[in-house]
A and B are shown apart, each in its own frame.
Chain A
Amino acid sequence: EAGVAQSPRYKIIEKRQSVAFWCNPISGHATLYWYQQILGQGPKLLIQFQNNGVVDDSQLPKDRFSAERLKGVDSTLKIQPAKLEDSAVYLCASSLGLSAGKVEQYFGPGTRLTVT
């Protein structure tokens, strides 16, 4: 079974530029998550999709961050314009769904973003 795919793996941009990250979840996984992980911290949930609908985007800085999952499969996270404090690893995860019970999230390798 293929895992969660993310690209690019690394990105260096200047502040005020734009950047986009792509994620392809595990086939059949209805729920997709984008996390931001700043060095030395745990992951912070940015947005959670159930199929192509947003379940939780309460911690997404909506003035500069946007995400979409138009066909309920792969997803794109965009930052426009980037700030220095956006330097972090952006992790994508997927899980089967939100049915009762444990939620086993599978993570991609992440995209390391450096904003200079």
Chain B
Amino acid sequence: GEDVEQSLFLSVREGDSSVINCTYTDSSSTYLYWYKQEPGAGLQLLTYIFSNMDMKQDQRLTVLLNKKDKHLSLRIADTQTGDSAIYFCAETYAGNNRKLIWGLGTSLAVNP
């Protein structure tokens, strides 16, 4: 069945890089997404990657996709206190009305 898993917590120092990991089970995933949720706020789409890509870079964000291992990661360079939030990995695949399958979220704490 469909499943997306993430580690629940990550703590980093300001200025360091953060790497948030995600694994998924559905090999027919078409797009994989990273969403950010700040306290008391809705979800904000950060970036996405199409399943035929290995890597995507967008300013401080780098997404790596290992399709063989069904592993997705989000690297945040030069992590700032404003990056403290919950990060959700989500996938969608053809044939499910493009419904998003969500992980439980990784809570990122950035320490000064």
Separation of A102 and B104 alpha carbons in the complex (Å): 21
Bound-complex Cα distance A42 to B103 (A): 6
**Binary contact track A76-116/B, C-beta < 8 Å → 1, others 0:** 00000000000000010100001011111111111000000
Closest A residue, CB atoms, query B43: A107
A109 & B42 in contact (Cβ 8 Å cutoff)? yes
Question: Contact: B97 with A56, CB < 8 Å?
Answer: yes
Partner of B102, one of A40, A42, A56, A106: A42
Question: Measured between alpha carbons, how far is A42 from B44 in the docked complex, in Å?
Answer: 13
Q: Closest approach, in angstroms, between the C-beta of B9 and any C-beta of chain A?
A: 11
Are B97 and A43 neighbours in the complex by a CB distance under 8 Å? no
Q: Does residue A30 face the partner (Cβ distance < 8 Å to B)?
A: no
**Which residue, of B40, B50, B98, B104, has the highest number of chain A Cβ atoms within 10 A?**
B98
Main SS of chain A's interface residues?
loop
At the interface, yes or no: A60 with Cβ under 8 Å from chain B?
A: no
A92 and chain B: residue at smallest CB distance: B42
Near A by CB (< 8 A), chain B positions 1-57 give 4, 30-31, 40-45, 48, 50
Residues from chain A with Cβ under 8 Å of B88 in the complex: 42-43
Q: Which A residue's beta carbon lies closest to that of B98?
A: A103
- Decide yes or no whether A55 CB sits under 8 A from chain B: yes
Residue of B nearest to A56 (CB): B97
What 10 pairs between A and B have smallest CB-CB spacing? A42-B102, A107-B42, A103-B98, A107-B43, A102-B31, A109-B42, A42-B104, A55-B97, A110-B42, A108-B42
CB<8 Å pairs between A and B, sample of 26: A4-B42, A42-B90, A43-B43, A43-B88, A43-B102, A48-B97, A48-B99, A55-B97, A56-B99, A91-B42, A93-B43, A98-B97, A98-B98, A100-B94, A101-B31, A102-B30, A102-B50, A102-B92, A103-B92, A103-B98, A104-B48, A105-B43, A105-B100, A106-B45, A107-B44, A109-B42
Q: Which residues of A does B touch, CB under 8 Å? A: 4, 40-45, 48, 55-56, 91, 93, 98, 100-110
